[in-house]
Chains A and B, each alone.
Chain A
Amino acid sequence: MDLIIINIIDGLIYGLLLFMLSSGLTLIFSMMGVLNLSHAAFYMLGAYFAYQISLVIGFWVGLIVAPVLVTILGALVERYGLRRVHQYGHVPELIFTFGLFFVIEESVQYIWGRNMVPYNSPESLNFIAINLAGGSIPAYKVFMLLVSVAIFVALYYVLARTRIGMIIQAALSYPKTVEALGHNVPLVFMGVFGVGTGLAGLAGVIAGPSLTTFPGMAFLLGSIVFVCVVVGGLGSLTGAFLASLLIGWLQTFAASYNIGAADILIAMGYEYPKDVYYHPWRDLWTLTLPQIGPILPYLLLILVLVFRPYGLFGRRDS
């Protein structure tokens, strides 16, 4: 029972982290109609910027400055890259962001090297915050949880209560009308792309010390974030939120319980083969849930797209 509670908390922390990435991605998609395939690369940049700043000044400054830097960088990318490609059409835009992913990944390796870097949580958070029977939750994870919740609340407030939020919401459903109403759409695009990537950067800053800062971190998380936004429904923030939590828990619970195919097969009345390593169905007999845990989201992705091409909460056609 304790394990379940602890797993729920772990999954929540992971899910909210995913949401920080998927919310930015969703914002960008809703406004610009382009799925930013380089999103996770900005997440990685956030972690590396913060690492560099933490070496010179300290963790807390990095927490503030790094996302700002990523935001600026994102806005520049939109202004000088994406806007240019926009005229060629939808698929070239996708391909541009895909290429951007490569360039950022390679540049990070060029600047910071190919090894992992020792970006660690600050001393002041190096204690155990909560002790539940059988496991402890370090203060840093609680801090991650708080930051994610704060971002979620802030995002909700901005979208629901402010003027700019109204414009963004309107643009979600009626992009053309918003433009007709005289809003500077290119500027809004630049801003949204910047803020979206900045959110990813912030996620990188707080995830870096916990999930290790290394050049593969973007690739590792990248496709899962797409799963979140696509399963949730492209353009739907609610969908992205629920899908992020769902996938956070799915992965946590799948890794936590060693349910094996063998248990199921035996329950179905089959007999465990004597020499399983030479059995033709050995892969099935030795299959366990944690083994397939990380690929479950992709299975979910395909199923959702096949049966509900717009995702669970999506409405607009891509």
Chain B
Amino acid sequence: MKIFKKLTAMVMAIGVLIGSSAFADTVKIAFIDPLSGPFATTGSNGLAEWKFAVEKLVNEKGGVLGGKKMEVVALDNKMDGKESLIQVQVAIDQGIRFIAQGNSSGIANAITDMVKKHNKRNPDKRVIFINYSAVDPALTNDKCNFWHFRFDANADIKMDAITDVIAQVPSIKKMYLIGQDYSFGKAVAAAAEKYLAEKTSINIVGNELHPIGKVKDFTPYARKILASGADAVITGNWGADMVNLGRSLSESGFKGPIYCYYCASNGITGTFGAAGKGMLHLVGEGLHNPATPELTAYHKAFKAKYPKWDLSQPRIINAAQMLAAAINKAGTADDMVAVASALEGMEFDSKLLGTKVLMRAKDHQAIQNVHVGIHTDDVEIDYDNSGYGIKIFKTVEMASMDSATSCKMKRP
């Protein structure tokens, strides 16, 4: 049974490795996102943004609870649900009480579910889940819980903003909806159908889902979209699916706008370059160009430290500051009920992003200004160091402030 001896040595080694960092007296946030594998750039970019925000906006301003520093502990989930849950458990075992995650709604679903069960089973070791990017509406509707807080605008809110903008473009008469076949793609399609019908008389000439990450050649889809006579396209695609769709459309002669959720940064802006000019319309919170002077300075400092990365997920700026404020208000970083209660309903004035942020109490969804911007080279702050970036076209203030939610929040 040599094996077990070996195992003993190995596991002991891990214990040491993991344990070593657990003693310093800081308030830790476990950052659980892909740091290796195909999605690592998104994760690494987010990590840089978190580290910088915590350093600049919390620690350099005196930390929390009268001088304690906040610290971001990076854990690699390899974009895998199982690995995410392992890492959450590892974080909890290390005594970390704040879990930050954003990439993939599927993983966010798994984590929120686990956090809910964990908090119920271990009332003395409760944790809070800071969702900074996963936008599946269900997370703040049917699947909402007291421990989950979303700082990004969800898919419905973003669609609300997109359709507000579209309603003011009279040339769009026919719309084509295309998305990846999974919960987020379906949520985008359902929201588009609903809001377009409510706000406009636009005719939806196509509404389809394609398998996620499996389509090699988008040309047939582009042909179909062209043949349908659509004036514009709405898509929730991301990654290579986004680039290939956009590219096939422009190659096939499509001239209209593409309204998209994830068509910037992470190489996408750089790959589109001139081809995307005027075509890509990105929806998002915290878009820059024009930026507030504070943000320009912040961005400059960020780029000095992380020249490779972009400020592509500005809500992290809000999340870090609001969490610090909640801890200060609760006066503790151990009693998660107090911290969550402080965060619930918090109103925050984000000077950097020039918006108010309201953490809605009924569903823990952040309400903030949402913009629609256009891909262009006429920008101050670019993405992918490509000279291209997103310039704000229209802003919807406090988007979906009064929207309904099916969330029935159970408070401890």
What residues of chain A have their CB less than 8 Å away from a CB belonging to chain B? 3, 6-7, 10-11, 14, 109, 113-118, 120, 128, 134-136, 138, 140-141, 210-212, 214-217, 220-221, 224, 251-253, 255-256, 258, 288, 290-295
Partner of A114, one of B38, B227, B243, B252: B38
Q: Give A288 to B179 CA distance when docked, in angstroms.
A: 13
B80 within 8 A of A: no
| 3 shortest interchain CB distances as A-B pairs | A115-B267, A255-B220, A294-B214
Q: Give A120 to B41 CA distance when docked, in angstroms.
A: 21
Q: How far is the CB of A125 from chain B (nearest CB, A)?
A: 11
Partner of A136, one of B37, B210, B243, B253: B253
**Residues of B with C-beta under 8 A to A291:** 181, 208-211
B216 near A14 with CB under 8 A, answer yes
A294 near B271 with CB under 8 A, answer no
A14 near B41 with CB under 8 A, answer no
The residues in B between 186 and 220 inclusive whose CB is less than 8 angstroms from any CB of A are 206, 208-211, 213-217, 219-220
Q: Given A136-B253, A138-B251, A256-B223 in contact, is the A116-B268 Cβ separation under 8 Å?
A: yes
B354 within 8 A of A: no
B257 within 8 A of A: no
B221 within 8 A of A: yes
Q: Give A191 to B39 CA distance when docked, in angstroms.
A: 37
**Residues of B with C-beta under 8 A to A118:** 267, 270-271, 273, 386
Q: Given A7-B220, A134-B226, A212-B247 in contact, is the A114-B214 Cβ separation under 8 Å?
A: no
**Residues of B with C-beta under 8 A to A7:** 220, 223
Partner of A216, one of B240, B252, B270: B240
> Quick one: CB contact mask for B257-293 with A, threshold 8 Å, 1 for yes?
0000000001110110100000000000000000000
Q: Give A214 to B37 CA distance when docked, in angstroms.
A: 12
**Residues of B with C-beta under 8 A to A216:** 38, 213, 240
Q: How far is the CB of B96 from chain A (nearest CB, A)?
A: 26
Q: Give A291 to B222 CA distance when docked, in angstroms.
A: 15
A10 near B244 with CB under 8 A, answer no
Q: Give A3 to B227 CA distance when docked, in angstroms.
A: 8
What are 16 contact pairs spanning A and B, CB under 8 A? A6-B223, A10-B223, A113-B41, A114-B40, A116-B268, A210-B217, A210-B247, A212-B247, A220-B240, A251-B217, A256-B221, A258-B224, A290-B221, A291-B210, A294-B210, A294-B215
- Which residue of the partner chain B has the closest CB to A224? B216
Q: Give A258 to B209 CA distance when docked, in angstroms.
A: 10
A220 near B214 with CB under 8 A, answer yes
Partner of A288, one of B40, B208, B214, B253: B208
Q: Given A118-B270, A135-B226 in contact, is the A221-B216 Cβ separation under 8 Å?
A: yes
Q: Give A212 to B213 CA distance when docked, in angstroms.
A: 13
**Residues of B with C-beta under 8 A to A135:** 222-223, 226-227, 252-253
**Residues of A with C-beta under 8 A to B40:** 114
Q: Give A290 to B219 CA distance when docked, in angstroms.
A: 13
Partner of B227, one of A128, A134, A140: A134
Q: How far is the CB of A110 from chain B (nearest CB, A)?
A: 11
Q: How far is the CB of A143 from chain B (nearest CB, A)?
A: 13
Q: Give A260 to B38 CA distance when docked, in angstroms.
A: 33
**Residues of B with C-beta under 8 A to A251:** 216-217, 220
Q: Give A136 to B250 CA distance when docked, in angstroms.
A: 10
Q: Give A217 to B214 CA distance when docked, in angstroms.
A: 10
